[in-house]
Amino acid sequence: MFSFLSEFTRDVDSPSTFIVMDADGLDQPRHYKVVPRNVMFLVAGSAAGMALVVLAVFVLTPIREIIPGYGTAEMRQDARLNELRLSALQDSLDAQQRYMSQLRQLMLGEVDSTAAVPSPPEPAAANEQVETPFESSSNWTDHQQPALVLERLQNPDNTTIRLADMASTQLPSVLLPALPPLDGFVTRGFDARTGHYAIDIAAQAGTVVRSVGEGYVVFADWTQEGGYALAVQHADGYLSVYKHNGRLYKRVGDRVQVREAVAESGNSGEITTGPHLHFELWHNGLAQDPGFYVVGL
């Protein structure tokens, strides 16, 4: 075979004649004239084409994930997300700890009486309000609008402090009124008597759902009735809840900014009649009618 190839490629431009005949010699011999250079071009082109096909298979298909050290697409995505989260946590961890501590004191009434806060002017007698501690309640009458929280807290030494003054000096305020969490139209309003502490906003599935204020994600998971649900804790005792999403963008502990995308609208959960967002707004344990706090609905 080696001697044949050597003889065949001795002069690549001179044509060679090949005679093909049967072993028994009964059939007429067949003659073929072949140019060695053309044969080499054909072999080289076929090899290059095969190499390109194999390369495309490994680059454009999931087969590439079997290459050691390459990693899966999911692993690379998780690595990028973890890098972004780590970068965000580096400058927000201390702020989050202070925020959670102050918020817990505010909601539980554990206000430090020695804290330096401005002395508010005494209100007129006609505007004087009863000073009783606020608490969450399952009684629907407590959520009738306007379901406003008390303006004062009672300290252990029988002194009072205005919540608004304390929040303005220690916590960032929520900017109200806010823009709607997504573009759509209201199909069901707030009704505390029937236990519907929210408004339903119909929108096409996949519409971006945005946070109405800055805060931290305190819940992001699947629920039987509300499907994929997410809750954001804001300053001043506000909590916004987003239910029936098709997909969640955030996890518990993530910090979100005003108008930042947190989910995609959908039709998840058992209690749903079509693609929409079930949007709740709570203030210190009392359900608020979002229609009073959100513009454009």
Cβ distance 297 to 178 under 8 Å? no
Average pLDDT score, the chain: 75
Per residue in 117-131, pLDDT (tens digit) is 334 334 434 344 333
Q: How far is CA 41 from the centre of its chain?
A: 55
Q: How confident is the model at residue 42 (pLDDT cuts 50, 70, 90)?
A: confident
Q: Is 162 helix (H, G, I), strand (E, B) or coil?
A: strand
pLDDT in tens, 65-98: 666 656 566 677 777 778 877 776 665 666 656 6
* Each residue's pLDDT tens digit, 148-164: 443 443 444 454 444 34
Residue 248 has what pLDDT? Answer: 96
Q: What are phi and psi of 287, to 5 degrees?
A: -70, 135
pLDDT tens digit string along 168-178? 334 467 888 89
Check whether 45 has a pLDDT greater than 80.
Answer: yes
Greatest mean pLDDT range, 85-99, 136-150, 256-270: 256-270
- Strands (E) across 84-226 are located at 152-154, 160-162, 185-188, 199-202, 208-210, 215-223
Q: Where are the domains of the chain?
A: 2-60, 99-170
**50 has a pLDDT exceeding 80:** yes
Question: Residue 37 in 3-state DSSP?
Answer: helix
The tokens describing 172, both together, are 């960032």
Rounded average pLDDT over 17-27: 73
Q: What long-range pairs does 149-155 form, CB within 8 A, spacing at least 24?
A: 149/237, 149/283, 149/284, 149/286, 153/109, 153/111, 154/109, 155/111, 155/113
Distance CA 146, CA 45 (A): 80
